[in-house]
């Protein structure tokens, strides 16, 4: 999965501005893809260069022109190719898990403190997920709701395991 694939999918849903795409990355996709301003705008330029999207410039009075991006037939084909291609294994990069792995090398009180902080962070993360879900759920497909539920259950399980460790 690359930024190209996600941007094509977002634009396939409906034409969007770069700002609207960024909002999708900061909300819906923040749960499973690390996208940023530095990802979106170069990706739009690259996709436009490949002929996968087209830019429509809309003049606005008293404001800068607005660029709205539309997917092309070639872009649709590229997106379909991505959807049916072999999936790459999920990756996890976690500073917390790395520190936990090496927990035997430092004071148990620090490990406990880090676990407590992680539980708090996870609760905040779940609150954010719930906010995003309440904003977007009315227009989500069944598979999008399933992706949300999987992500939520993973975080809930992590909290449960960490709390069990603290209560042992």
Per-residue pLDDT tens digits for 127-162: 999 998 998 888 889 999 999 999 999 999 999 999
- CATH, domain range 3-84: 1.10.10.10
- Kindly give the parts of the chain with pLDDT less than 70: 1, 35-37
Give the whole-angstrom CA distance, residue 32 versus residue 40: 16
Residue 1: the pLDDT is 55
Decide if 6 contacts 31 (C-beta within 8 A).
no
Which residues, in sequence order, are bridge partners of residue 58? 66
Give whole-number Cα distances, 165 to 98, 109, 116, 157, in Å.
17, 13, 11, 12
């Amino acid at each position: 999965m690359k930024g190209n694939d996600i941007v094509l999918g977002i634009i396939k849903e409906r034409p969007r501005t770069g700002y609207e795409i960024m909002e999708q990355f900061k909300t819906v996709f923040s749960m499973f893809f690390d996208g940023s301003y530095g990802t979106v705008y170069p990706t739009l330029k690259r996709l436009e260069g490949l002929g996968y999207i087209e830019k429509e410039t809309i003049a606005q009075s008293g404001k800068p022109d607005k660029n709205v991006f539309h997917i092309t037939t070639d872009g649709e084909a590229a997106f379909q190719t991505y959807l049916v291609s072999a999936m790459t294994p999920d990756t996890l990069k976690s500073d917390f898990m790395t520190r936990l792995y090496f927990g035997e090398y430092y004071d148990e009180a620090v490990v406990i403190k880090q676990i407590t902080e992680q539980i708090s962070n996870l609760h905040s993360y779940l609150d954010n997920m719930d906010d995003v879900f309440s904003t977007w759920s009315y227009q989500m497909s069944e598979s999008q709701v399933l992706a949300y539920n999987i992500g939520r259950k993973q975080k809930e399980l992590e909290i449960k395991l960490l709390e069990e460790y603290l209560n042992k």
